[in-house]
Amino acid sequence: MKRIKVLIADDHTLVRDGIRSLLELIADIEVVGEATNGKEALEKVEQLAPDVVLMDLAMPIMGGLEATRRIRKQFPQTKVLALTQYDDSEYVIPVIEAGANGFVTKMAAFSELTSAIQAVHKGESYLSPSAAAALVQEYQQKTEVEGEKDPYQQLTDRQREVLKLVAEGHTVREIAEMLVVSPKTVEWYKTSFMNKLNIHNKTDLIKFAIRRAIITP
């Protein structure tokens, strides 16, 4: 029986160890390697040729979204299954747009994770029930609002809040302390709203914030 070769990409050692221990109990799955960031994941895919990459999204050096884009472009035979603690649409949609084959939350049962790995390996797409529900809700909200083309209007309240703080010059750690969230969460909000606004550097972000009167020069 040919086993499904899996690479685990997550910057938390305990998470990687826990997933590896569980997956080693499954007869048709073999963990061939681990990565602590997106850059390392890309390198390990080239070295190990895994069938499926379990990809955390918020990682240092290179995040999971960028790593997913590169893997799907450079190694299209390798499937990517996003594995994250968040399941709302502002996380799910960018993951799908990046080319991921599936999306599972870290709160899912282990049986769901194994089913997702097996599904994407067979060429199917997989969305956890909570992620699918978030997509449906997002679609319904968009169809209810006609003519909403301004990307800034599509940002969530929290995304706008983080945008303003970033444009004002606060560091990620300072923003995390202000909002009582983790720095990784702030980084995710920052990546998400910059993708929505099609802004790729801080200079352009500040210019945008000034034009929209979000901050004053």
Same structural domain, 128 and 164: no
pLDDT recorded at residue 92: 80
Cβ contact 130:96 at 8 Å: no
pLDDT recorded at residue 4: 97
In a domain, 143, yes or no: no
| CATH number of the structural domain spanning residue 186 | 1.10.10.10
Rounded CA-CA distance 51/30 in Å is: 10
* Domain range enclosing 202: 151-211
* DSSP class of 35: E
User: By three-state DSSP, how is residue 13 classified?
Assistant: helix
Same structural domain, 123 and 179: no
Last-in-domain residue among 134, 160, 185: 134
Rounded CA-CA distance 28/22 in Å is: 12
pLDDT recorded at residue 146: 45
Same structural domain, 122 and 172: no
pLDDT recorded at residue 154: 82
Last-in-domain residue among 107, 134, 161: 134
Same structural domain, 127 and 183: no
Selection from 59, 57, 10, 15 nearest residue 35 by Cα: 10
Same structural domain, 120 and 81: yes
Same structural domain, 109 and 163: no
pLDDT recorded at residue 139: 61
Angle between helices 202-211 and 157-167 (to 10 degrees): 110
Same structural domain, 117 and 23: yes
In a domain, 114, yes or no: yes
In a domain, 41, yes or no: yes
Same structural domain, 32 and 83: yes
pLDDT recorded at residue 84: 84
Same structural domain, 23 and 114: yes
pLDDT tens for the chain, 217 residues: list them: 789 999 999 999 999 999 999 999 999 999 999 999 999 999 999 999 999 999 998 898 999 999 999 999 999 999 999 998 876 666 787 888 889 999 998 888 899 999 999 999 999 989 887 777 766 666 666 555 544 567 888 888 899 999 999 999 999 999 999 998 889 899 999 998 999 898 988 888 998 998 888 987 6
Task: Tell me how many domains the chain contains.
Answer: 2
In a domain, 216, yes or no: no
User: What's the whole-model pTM score?
Assistant: 0.66
Rounded CA-CA distance 42/63 in Å is: 11
Which residues share a beta bridge with 7? Answer: 33, 53
Handedness of CA 22, 25, 26, 32 (dihedral sign): positive
| CATH number of the structural domain spanning residue 73 | 3.40.50.2300
In a domain, 140, yes or no: no
* DSSP class of 107: T
Same structural domain, 36 and 122: yes
User: By three-state DSSP, how is residue 33 classified?
Assistant: strand
pLDDT recorded at residue 66: 92
Same structural domain, 15 and 97: yes
In a domain, 144, yes or no: no
Same structural domain, 39 and 92: yes
